[in-house]
Amino acid sequence: MRTKLNGLKMNQKQMTTLASVIQSRNALGYMLGKSYGTDRDLYAALGYPKNPTFDQYENKFRRQDIAKRVINAFPESTWRGKPNIFETDEDTDTAFEKSLKEAMSRIDFYQYFLRVDKLAGIAQYAILFVGFNDGDNLDQPVNNATEVLYTQPYSQKNAPINSYESDTKNERYGLPKDYKLNLGSAEEGDGSITSANTEQIVHWSRVIHVAEGLTESNILGTPRLECIYNRLENLELILGADAEAWWRNAYPGLSLEQEPGTTIEDTDDLEDEIDEYIHNMRRVIKLKGMKANVLSPSIADPEKHVDVQIKMIAGATKIPQRILTGSERGELASSQDKENFDNAVAERRIDFAEPMILRAFIDRLVEAGVIDAPGEEGYFVVWPDIESLSDKDQADIGKLRAETLKAYLDAGGDMLIPPLRFLVDVMGYEEDEAKVMLKDIEKRIDEEEKQVLDGVVDPNEEPISTMTRTKTSNELYL
Q: Could you report the per-residue pLDDT of 407-424, keeping only the tens digit for each?
A: 888 888 778 888 888 888
The answer on pLDDT for 261 being more than 50 is yes
Instruction: Count Cβ atoms within 10 A of the Cβ of residue 202 and give its class: 0-12 exposed, 13-18 middle, 19 or more buried.
Output: buried
pLDDT at 3: 42
The yes-or-no verdict on residue 125 having pLDDT over 50 is yes
Write the DSSP symbol of residue 204: G
Highest mean pLDDT among 44-53, 202-211, 437-446, 469-478: 202-211
Average pLDDT over residues 333-357: 89
Task: Select the more confidently predicted residue: 250 or 186.
Answer: 250
Quote the pLDDT of residue 70.
96
Please report the pLDDT score of residue 292 as a whole number. 75
In this structure, are residues 309 and 234 in contact, taking their beta carbons and an 8 Å threshold?
A: yes
For residue 331, which phi and psi values (nearest 5 degrees)? Answer: -60, -25
Mean residue pLDDT across the chain: 81
Q: How much is the pTM? A: 0.69
Backbone φ and ψ of 211, nearest 5°: -140, 130
Banded model confidence at residue 118, pLDDT cuts 50, 70, 90:
very high
Q: How do strand 186-187 and strand 193-194 relate by DSSP bridges?
A: antiparallel
Distances (CA, A) of 475 to 92, 181, 414, 438, 469: 47, 74, 11, 11, 10
Dihedral pair phi/psi, residue 130, rounded to 5°: -110, 120
Q: What is the mean pLDDT of residues 206-229?
A: 96
Task: Assign 87 a pLDDT band (cuts: 50, 70, 90).
Answer: very high
8 Å CB contact between 114 and 75: yes
Span 216-244, mean pLDDT? Answer: 93
Q: Name 417's bridge partners.
A: none
Render pLDDT for 8-22 as a digit per residue (tens, 0 to 9): 445 555 555 555 555
The reported pLDDT for the residue numbered 329 is 46
Q: pLDDT above 70 covers what percent of the chain?
A: 77
In eight-state DSSP terms, residue 384 is P
pLDDT of amino acid 346: 94
Strand, coil or helix: 352:
helix
Confidence check: pLDDT of 428 > 60: yes
First-to-last C-alpha distance (Å) of the chain: 88
pLDDT band at 55 (very low <50, low <70, confident <90, very high): very high
Contact 128, 116 (CB under 8 A): yes
Q: What is the pLDDT of residue 150?
A: 95
The pLDDT confidence band at residue 294, using thresholds 50, 70 and 90, is confident
State residue 172 phi and psi, 5-degree precision. -100, 25
pLDDT at residue 186 greater than cutoff 70: no
For residues 153 and 32, the model is more confident at: 153
- pLDDT of 451-464, one tens digit each? 767 766 565 555 54
pLDDT band at 101 (very low <50, low <70, confident <90, very high): very high
Looking at residue 20, what is its pLDDT? Answer: 55
Strand segments (E) across 195-327:
199-203, 207-210, 253-258, 290-295
Nearest to 467 by CA among 397, 415, 390: 415
Cβ contacts of residue 133 below 8 Å, gap of 6+?
145, 146, 147, 148, 149
- pLDDT at 29 > cutoff 60: no
CA distance 326 to 324: 6
Q: What share of the chain is helix, strand, coil (3-state, %, to 5)?
A: 50, 15, 40
State the pLDDT at residue 390: 53
More confident residue, 195 or 415: 415
In angstroms, the CA 237 to CA 241 distance is 6
- Is-contact 48 227, C-beta < 8 A? no
Residue 26 has pLDDT above 90, yes or no: no
Q: Decide: helix, strand or coil at residue 396.
A: helix
Reported as a single tens digit per residue, the pLDDT across 350-386 is 999 999 999 999 999 999 999 999 999 999 999 998 7
- Per-residue pLDDT tens over the stretch 144-175: 899 999 999 999 999 999 999 999 999 999 99
pLDDT beyond 60 at 310: yes
Which comes out higher in pLDDT, residue 71 or 273? 71
pLDDT at 1: 39
Q: What's the mean pLDDT in 39-57?
A: 88
324 Cβ contact partners less than 8 Å away, ≥ 6 residues apart: 66, 69, 70, 73, 310, 313, 314, 317
Q: What pLDDT does residue 360 have?
A: 97
pLDDT of residue 309: 95
What's the pLDDT score for residue 223?
A: 97
Rg of the chain over Cα atoms, rounded to whole angstroms, equals 34
Among 61-65, 330-334, 385-389, the minimum mean pLDDT is found in 330-334
Among 181-190, 251-260, 459-468, which stretch is predicted with the lowest mean pLDDT? Answer: 459-468
Q: Given this model, what pLDDT does residue 145 score? A: 94
Least confident stretch, 56-70, 224-238, 277-291, 438-452: 277-291
Provide the pLDDT confidence category of residue 269 given band limits of 50, 70 and 90. Answer: confident
- Which are the contacts of 146, defined by CB distance < 8 A and separation ≥ 6? 133, 369, 370
